[in-house]
Each structure stands twice: as C-alpha cells, then as structure tokens.
Structure 1
Amino acid sequence: MADWSLAAGTLAVAPAPDRPELLADPVRDAVTAFPPVEASLVGVAEIDPEFADTAAFCARYGSPPELSANCVIVAGKRGGEVRYAACLVLATARADVNGVVKRRLDVRKASFAAMDEAVRLTSMEFGGITPFGLPAQWPVLVDQAVASAPALVVGSGLRRSKIIVSGALLSALPAAEVLDGLGREIPAD
C-alpha cells in the first residue's frame, strides 16, 4: 500500500482503480492499463473544483506546495512541425521552457500551449492536466525534484479531483524523461 499521507493533507484518498469516476477518460485508461500492483499505488481524492488551482488547493486542503506538482503542456516548432511535451515540476518551481525544454524539443522557440489547444489535445480539463494518459508520442519531462518525491499531488484530468502518487511512479511512465534543472525555483516574495 502506498503512503499518500505526506502529500494528501486533509484529503480522503482511495486507490484510483476503486474510483474511476474521479479520473478523466484518458487518465482512467492509462491507470487501469497498469499492472494491478502499480495501479494500486495511484491514489485519487475528490475535491471542490473551485479549489483546483494549486495555490488555492494547497491552502484549502493542507497539502504542502513542495509535494504538489504541476503538469504544463509546452509547444515548439521546427521546420513547420509542432512538437509538444508535458513538463512536470514542483508547485514551488517553474519549468525552464526557454532553456531545458527548448533544447530537449530541439526547437527555436518554445512556449506554453494555449489553454484551448492543451485541453483539446489532452482530452483533459484545464487545471487538471496530468502526465497520465497523454498522447503517446509526447515526452513527459520530469524534474529531478519531482522524481525524488515520496508522494505528490498531481491533476486527475478533471478539476474535481486530484491524484496522489510517488515521484518514482511518475518517472517510470512510458514517455517519462527525468531532467536536472527542468524546474527553476520560484523566488520568495
């Protein structure tokens, strides 16, 4: 059994295979495709969708921001081809889009994908995008700090729930690549 308590705060977490209605369709398909032992390591919890955004979520549910990860979709062009990647960084950091991501995608310029484009391409809700169930050809770039975390809160594909999972499981996803320096710490105010 996974120990989700470090990241969960006040959430009531259940194994994701037991609560498939709390997962977006592609996320549910990805999680249920795992071997049973791995699937049981993915937790899910229902939340108020008004508190889906990371800062509001952490404040409302007592989940530490350093154990919450954001998944952002980045796009870049090379020779007329658009290349996408998902970037997974701690909530206390920002993805180094113009350095690490741009070099990894081998593009001249990289930027966050437009909200409507990210929603359409992932079949997930904005504010709930997660590394589970993304298009197979996209790399999932995982910051080393995420990969090392014992437990993390990530999106579920829906705004009304969150997934709790280890960094080890995230970095073992089929398209995952762990990259040092992907996340740049956000300076304190």
Structure 2
Amino acid sequence: MRAPIGTFDDAVPAADHLDHLIAPIAEAVRHWHGTVPVEQFLYVDTEPQWADTAAFTEHYGPDLLSASANCVVVAAKRGGETTLAACVVPSAARADVNGVVRRQLGARKASFAAMDTATGLTGMEHGGITPIGLPADWPLLVDAAVVDLPHVLLGSGRRRGKLIVPGKALAELPGATVIEGLGRA
C-alpha cells in the first residue's frame, strides 16, 4: 500500500506487522482503543542511518519535514523530585522546555533528559523515540500543530522504520495533554 505522505511504497498496517516494533509499541498498537481505527497506524521500513530528522528529510524528501514530529524526553525538577515526561513537537520546531514545558509540569527547572535515561526507561533507541508505547505514568505533552496534521511521521521505537498515524490519534494516547505553542521554530 502507498503511504498517505512521502514516497513510501511499502506502508503496511502496524497492527499486522507487530514483529517490526519493539515490545512497548507493539503492545500499545495491539491494545489501541482510541477513536482512530488502529488500521490507520502504518509502518514504513526505512534505513537506520537516515533516522535523524535532518538526514531523514534530506534522503526521503524535504516535504516530509512539515508532516513529521519528534518526541523528546524531558526531566522536570521541583523540590528534589524529578518527573519524566515526553513532548511531541513538529520536526521543524524545538520543545519550549524552559517555558511552556516547565510551567505545564509545575517544575522549577526542566531540561532534556540524558539519552541513557530516555532510552533506558522507554526501551526505545536514540533517533526512534515515539509517543506510542511510552510508560503510562509519564505526562505526554503534544503540540496542537501536530494533532492538527492529517498524518504525522513519527519514530517507531527503533532507528529502522517509522510510523505514520493520524495526528488526532496522538491526543488519545495515555497521559496526553494537547498544548498550543509547545514547539518553537
């Protein structure tokens, strides 16, 4: 099947190819109960060396930048306590960690989590972190611009492969809060 975005000729329903996904993402897809039909969650096979946004859009087409989102893990600190959360922003933007994210999480200080922490606690690979299948107790902050996309390209949990899902499905993920202006250009 042809993907709804990009030039991927080999888009397949993610639910039919759970073996391409790491365990937490496969479980989230397998047990999806949102209003968006799980059949609209697609998997496309991509090469791991092109996983990072700049390399990916250079290789697979610059038009994908406007239909892509990045998921980053942040650590918010207040009173000796650290809260981990994830933020999903358009790929052309950066999460406003020191402003919007810090205030939303009620933290004194917020920063990007160390890569070892992000990959270790999610079970996902650097360059493939996705909001689907994150730890259920983490807050998930999603930029409204991403939710408004008809289809969004996301990591698949690994550097190999990507997921394409309707943007509105991200608002239905566990712990999701949709926020205007979460990402800044």
Q: Deviations over 1:126-172 (max 9, x none)?
A: 11000011111111101011010001100110111100001101111
The structural deviation recorded for 1:92 is 0.8
Q: Give the 3 Å change call, closer, same or farther, for CA 104–169 of structure 1 in structure 2.
A: same
Match of 2:28 among 30, 50, 60: 30
- Residue 21 in 1 paired to residue 56 in 2? no
Deviates most, 166-175 or 120-129: 166-175
Q: Is 1:52–1:127's contact at 8 Å kept on the other side of the alignment?
A: yes
The structural deviation recorded for 1:82 is 0.8
Counterpart of 1:39? Answer: 38
Q: Is 1:22–1:160's contact at 8 Å kept on the other side of the alignment?
A: no
Unaligned runs of at least 5 residues, structure 2: none
**Runs of at least 4 residues off by over 3 Å:** none
Q: Is 1:9–1:64's contact at 8 Å kept on the other side of the alignment?
A: no
Aligned counterparts of 2:26 and 2:69: Cα–Cα separation in 1: 19
Q: Is 1:8–1:153's contact at 8 Å kept on the other side of the alignment?
A: no
Aligned counterparts of 2:149 and 2:100: Cα–Cα separation in 1: 21
Structure 2 matches for 1:152-171, cutoff 5 A? 152-171=152-171
Unaligned runs of at least 5 residues, structure 1: none
Q: Is 2:3–2:10's contact at 8 Å kept on the other side of the alignment?
A: no
Q: Is 2:72–2:112's contact at 8 Å kept on the other side of the alignment?
A: yes
The structural deviation recorded for 1:84 is 1.2
Counterpart of 1:100? Answer: 100
Aligned counterparts of 2:3 and 2:148: Cα–Cα separation in 1: 15
The structural deviation recorded for 1:20 is 1.1
Q: Is 1:22–1:45's contact at 8 Å kept on the other side of the alignment?
A: no
Aligned counterparts of 1:134 and 1:85: Cα–Cα separation in 2: 9
Q: Deviations over 1:37-65 (max 9, x none)?
A: 72211100111100111111122122520
After TM superposition, the score normalised by the length of structure 2 is 0.93
- Residue 175 in 1 paired to residue 171 in 2? no
Task: Provide the aligned C-alpha RMSD in A.
Answer: 1.7
- The SS at the match of 1:158 is coil
Q: Deviations over 1:112-135 (max 9, x none)?
A: 001011000101011100001111
Q: Is 1:141–1:177's contact at 8 Å kept on the other side of the alignment?
A: yes
Counterpart of 2:81? Answer: 81
- What is the number of equivalent residue pairs in this alignment? 183
Q: Is 2:75–2:85's contact at 8 Å kept on the other side of the alignment?
A: yes
Q: Is 2:11–2:44's contact at 8 Å kept on the other side of the alignment?
A: yes
Identity across the alignment (%): 51
Counterpart of 1:124? Answer: 124
Q: Is 1:142–1:177's contact at 8 Å kept on the other side of the alignment?
A: yes
